[in-house]
């Protein structure tokens, strides 16, 4: 342990010395001039004129130039130098995510010390300059550009090259033989181009190769046997490469393989390749490789294996009774001929298993596979009746026959020209799931999004949406699938139907940006027949964000309709972010081409006895009330089971015992959700219990949302959820108890009740920032809280802050620029772009955090404080102080002079940066943490020339006018209450809040 600490201190000390030397040294003017010319060649001047932001005018201090962000699509600039005797030379250039529109710069040759050039995610065209061939480059990445023509053979002259990435470009022709001369090459990535021909034999000489990828190309010939020479290989990818099988038997010698992805190869059938010597596998993907026979037993014994995808093959036999591979996260076996009973070990907690389209024994409701939502059994048995479509259902019979179907995929219910399209956006869908919706329809979903470093595949990951007003509402949402998505309808009247599939590509962008370079390609099957091969929405529609409808006449002969979308390995997988691939569907409509036989008929009734009718009505009303009561309780229990909670379930008896039957003495406070009680469990654990009030505006949906969000989150600055209770009509959340109430009570309650000195306030600011950084950037589920305010920050015994109240929280999908949602939150804390247009990103939380920080520093409430009534809110006053150069006047008078002035000024500046009216100019929360902790410099906030029309303050003024008008009309104020006044130690005052509309 001591040696590790000593080594770390040595590395830190050395880094500090190097940094000091770099600070003292500078770049020669000739390299500065070359660098500026390089920027011009790549089109940086066009980007600067169009977007602003990045400074492309480099000087001698450029070696300290570094621009980065935790956002996956945010620009990255890194200019690294090697310095000696106060002179530096550029060794590394990284310009990512700028959409630079120029060409690759030949001027690189004038940087003799350059080793690394990374220009990924731009919009560069042309080819690779021949001047580069004379350089001693070690690393070249041109990933995600528009480079075209043949791959230059002179790249083979760069003998020092270790890494070459040309993925997602427009290269064509054959791979040059000269690449075989790159004997030091370790990584070669050529995926997502238009390369053809066979792989040259000379590539077999690359004995140091560890990573080889050629996905989505037009190669021909067989998979070469020379891959056996790559003894150091750890990753091999050949998905839809054009090469034919079989997989050569010599693959068995590649003992270091960790990831093997071979899919969609034509050729003769083959037995399962011998992989027994590769004991370190993390992922095995052998999809659609014409493999027959049984799955070898040794596969199930690979202890490190995380993902196994053997879908779309001809595998037969039975699954073993025990599947011991403890780390398996997903097993995809769809579209094979596997049979026998489904062992209980398949249904172990935490593993997603897709067994759809197989010949297993039909599973009755009591069997383990039927009790696990993460096992997909759609068409998993050889049964010919409806049981094949509807596993786990006994003796199903159609009670009604349908003759139409309208689905808004990935969205809510929407009415179009008088027809209601039923939304499936709230349906439970994960990597291996079967959803059975109302009116005898549903969908089956399969697959894991590739290379997105997210094995959780939360339900929101399978949805896409846009706020664009340029396309009809029906096309603003969509359902996604990384591998296979089947929509089905059963109990359908036989006959001829018109099936309309509605599409709009809403994940790619248009214009001169790297986000426009994506290609989505998939196949479409209807009634098990291929109706569209290599379907490309953007190409068919003539652009992105362009609605397109494809029509098919289909015959239904057995009461069932199936529409299947399958990804066959083609298209890009990392534009605009990693994991964007596979089918996308916006809506489905099915109409009969005939006059339906089973139309509902109106019945003629004759009143006989009024008393009898009245009695029936009374009984019916009582029945409806009872049904609603039990149905709601049942639905809540079902919804809870779907959540796959990481928390405990408490009985109502336990909660009553802990709170002395909800004794008023134990009542801590009252919020919009309902009362909060203090309690003590039988083991002595002190708890806080949130009880849903019958008058609550939060209701069942937000109750479940809060459980769903926080049950997966573990962080020192997030309140801990112990569990919940649902019995009858009772909804209860059980949290850890916070001794020091909420931050709101500490700041705005009776003065002097708590000593919030400056170190405590600074620690609270940092703690909240860390909690939000975890939610936005570090947790498996990326979450926008939507209601950050002092009342939703709790303080423990040591005044450590903990974020609570996740009832309004939203999953934030990294492949989206924003979330489209109705507005919810608290007036004064809501970011202007969200309050005005429902445009939600995690930058909305950043804005709210900035407001809370101003409250912490000043000890004043944001919306109720304005000195001399001159300002709408605390933020407007802070902006005025910034303009006047008197920022420290904002600091709480209670602190006197006992605070760190430099630290306070930094904190206020950070708050003003966070509350910038433009979300793109707000920092990320990880950047905020760096600034608050002093690890990163704090830039000066932008000062507006006038605040009279500032949207941030106009919203508050308009709200006050509205409230005043209401009071004058009604005679009394009508406050809205917060959904949570926390897990409190005392009752707290209500806070003004917008209605919960989302």
Task: Give the residue among 935, 953, 942, 926 at the shortest CA–CA distance from 830.
Answer: 953
CB-CB neighbours of 688 under 10 Å: 26
> What sign results for the dihedral spanned by CA atoms 673, 675, 676, 680?
negative
DSSP 103: B
What is the SS3 assignment for 440-459?
HEEEEEECCCCCCCCCCCCH
Cis geometry, peptide bond prior to residue 234 (ω within 30 degrees of 0): no
Give CB contacts under 8 A, 24+ apart, made by 987-991.
987/667, 987/668, 987/669, 987/670, 988/669, 988/741, 988/742, 988/744, 988/745, 988/749, 988/791, 989/744, 989/748, 989/749, 991/744, 991/789, 991/791, 991/826
Helix orientation angle between 901-914 and 874-884, rounded to the nearest 10 degrees? 120
Q: How far is CA 63 from the centre of its chain?
A: 34
Instruction: Give the three-state DSSP class for 847.
Output: helix
- The single residue of 787, 805, 815, 845 carrying the catalytic annotation is 787
Single out the residue of 389, 382, 378, 379 nearest to residue 359, CA to CA: 382
Pairing of strands 76-84, 87-96: antiparallel
Facing residues of 53 across strands?
A: none
Cis peptide before 158 (omega within 30 of 0): no
Q: Where are the beta strands (DSSP E) in 277-431?
A: 283-287, 291-293, 307-309, 314-315, 330-332, 339-340, 352-354, 359-360, 375-376, 405-408, 414-416, 419-423
DSSP SS3 for 350 = coil
Q: Which two tokens stand for residue 361?
A: 């024994």
Residue from 391, 373, 394, 371 nearest 383 by CA: 391
787 a catalytic residue: yes
Of 215, 300, 304, nearest to 256 (Cα)? 304
Contact (Cβ atoms closer than 8 angstroms) between residue 785 and residue 979: no
Pairing of strands 441-446, 484-490: antiparallel
Do 448 and 455 contact (CB within 8 A), yes or no? yes
> Catalytic site residues?
787
């Amino acid at each position: 342990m001591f040696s590790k600490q000593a080594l770390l201190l040595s590395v830190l000390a050395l880094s500090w010395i190097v940094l000091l030397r770099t600070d003292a040294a500078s770049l020669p003017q000739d390299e500065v001039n070359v660098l500026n010319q390089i920027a011009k060649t790549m089109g940086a001047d066009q980007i600067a004129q169009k977007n602003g932001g990045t400074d492309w005018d480099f000087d001698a201090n450029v070696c300290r130039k570094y621009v980065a962000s935790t956002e996956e699509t945010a620009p990255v600039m890194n200019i690294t130098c090697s310095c000696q005797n106060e002179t530096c030379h550029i060794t590394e250039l990284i310009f990512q995510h700028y959409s630079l529109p120029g060409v690759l710069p030949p001027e690189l040759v004038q940087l003799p010390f350059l080793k690394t050039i990374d220009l990924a995610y731009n919009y560069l065209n042309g080819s690779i300059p021949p001047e580069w061939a004379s350089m001693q480059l070690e690393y070249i990445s041109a990933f995600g550009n528009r480079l075209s023509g043949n791959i230059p053979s002179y790249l083979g002259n760069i003998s020092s090259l270790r890494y070459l990435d040309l993925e997602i470009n427009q290269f064509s022709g054959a791979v040059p033989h000269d690449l075989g001369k790159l004997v030091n090459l370790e990584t070669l990535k050529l995926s997502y181009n238009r390369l053809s021909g066979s792989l040259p034999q000379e590539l077999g000489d690359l004995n140091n190769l560890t990573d080889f990828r050629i996905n989505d190309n037009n190669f021909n010939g067989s998979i070469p046997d020379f891959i056996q020479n790559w003894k150091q290989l750890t990753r091999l990818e050949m998905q839809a490469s054009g090469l034919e099988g079989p997989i050569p038997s010599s693959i068995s010698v590649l003992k270091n393989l960790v990831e093997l992805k071979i899919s969609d190869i034509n050729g003769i059938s083959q037995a399962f390749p011998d992989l027994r010597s590769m004991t370190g596998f993390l992922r095995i993907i052998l999809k659609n490789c014409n493999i027959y026979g049984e799955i070898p037993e040794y596969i199930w014994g690979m202890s490190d294996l995380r993902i196994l995808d053997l879908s779309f093959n001809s595998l037969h036999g039975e699954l073993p009774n025990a599947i011991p591979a403890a780390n398996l996260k997903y097993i995809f076996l769809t579209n094979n001929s596997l049979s026998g009973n489904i062992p209980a070990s398949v249904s172990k907690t935490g593993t997603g298993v897709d067994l759809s389209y197989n010949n297993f024994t039909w599973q009755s409701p009591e069997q383990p596979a039927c009790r696990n939502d993460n096992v997909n059994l759609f068409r998993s048995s050889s049964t010919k009746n409806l049981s094949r479509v509807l596993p786990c259902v006994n003796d199903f019979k159609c009670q009604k026959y349908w003759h139409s179907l309208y689905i808004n995929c990935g969205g809510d219910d929407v009415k179009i020209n008088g027809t209601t399209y039923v939304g499936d956006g709230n349906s439970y869908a994960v990597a291996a799931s079967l959803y059975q919706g109302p009116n005898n329809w549903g969908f089956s979903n399969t697959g894991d999004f590739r290379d997105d470093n997210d094995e959780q595949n939360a339900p929101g990951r399978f949805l896409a949406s846009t706020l664009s007003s340029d396309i009809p509402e029906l096309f603003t949402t969509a359902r996604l699938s990384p591998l296979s998505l089947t929509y089905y309808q059963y109990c359908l009247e036989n006959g001829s139907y018109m099936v309309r599939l509605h599409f709009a590509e809403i994940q790619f962008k248009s214009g001169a940006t790297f986000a426009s370079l994506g290609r989505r390609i998939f196949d479409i099957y209807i009634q098990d027949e291929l109706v569209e091969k290599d379907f490309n929405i953007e190409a068919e529609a003539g652009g992105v964000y362009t609605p397109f409808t494809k029509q098919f006449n289909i015959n239904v002969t057995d009461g069932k309709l199936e529409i299947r979308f399958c990804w066959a390995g083609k298209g890009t997988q990392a534009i605009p972010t990693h994991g964007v691939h596979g089918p996308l569907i916006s809506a489905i409509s099915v109409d009969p081409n005939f006059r339906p036989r089973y139309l509902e008929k109106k019945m003629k009734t004759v009143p006989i006895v009024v008393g009898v009718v009245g009695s029936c009505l009374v009984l019916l009303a009582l029945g409806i009330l009872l049904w609603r009561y039990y149905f709601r309780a049942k639905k809540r229990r079902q919804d809870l089971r779907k959540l796959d909670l990481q928390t405990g379930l408490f009985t109502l008896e336990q909660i009553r015992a802990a709170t002395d039957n909800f004794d008023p003495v134990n009542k801590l406070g009252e919020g919009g959700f309902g009362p909060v009680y203090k309690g003590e469990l039988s083991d002595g654990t002190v708890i806080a219990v949130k009880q849903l009030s019958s008058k609550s505006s939060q209701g069942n949906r937000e109750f479940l949302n809060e459980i769903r969000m926080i049950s997966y989150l573990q962080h020192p600055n997030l309140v801990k959820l112990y569990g919940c209770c649902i019995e009858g009509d009772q909804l209860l959340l059980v949290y850890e108890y916070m001794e020091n109430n909420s931050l709101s009570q500490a700041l705005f309650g009776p003065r002097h009740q708590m000593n919030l000195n400056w170190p405590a306030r600074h620690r609270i600011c940092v703690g909240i920032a860390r909690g939000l950084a975890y939610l936005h950037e570090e947790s498996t589920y990326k979450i926008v809280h939507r209601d950050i305010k002092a009342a939703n920050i709790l303080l423990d015994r040591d005044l450590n802050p903990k974020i609570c109240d996740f009832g309004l929280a939203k999953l934030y999908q990294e492949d989206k620029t924003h979330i489209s949602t109705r507005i919810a939150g608290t007036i004064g804390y809501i970011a202007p772009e969200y309050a005005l247009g429902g445009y939600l990103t995690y930058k909305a939380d950043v804005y709210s955090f900035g407001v809370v920080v101003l409250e912490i520093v000043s000890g004043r409430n944001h919306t109720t404080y304005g000195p001399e009534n001159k300002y709408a809110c605390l933020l407007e006053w802070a902006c005025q102080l910034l303009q006047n150069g008197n920022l420290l006047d904002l600091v709480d008078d209670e602190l006197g002079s006992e605070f760190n002035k430099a630290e306070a000024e930094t904190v206020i500046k950070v708050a003003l940066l966070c509350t910038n009216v433009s979300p793109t100019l707000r920092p990320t929360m990880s950047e905020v943490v760096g600034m608050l902790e002093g690890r990163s410099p704090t830039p000066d906030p932008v000062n507006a020339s006038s605040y009279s029309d500032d949207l941030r303050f106009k919203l508050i003024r308009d709200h006050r006018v509205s409230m005043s008008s209401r009071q004058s009309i009604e005679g009394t104020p009508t406050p809205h209450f917060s959904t949570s006044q926390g897990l409190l130690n005392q009752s707290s005052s209500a806070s003004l809040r917008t209605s919960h509309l989302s």
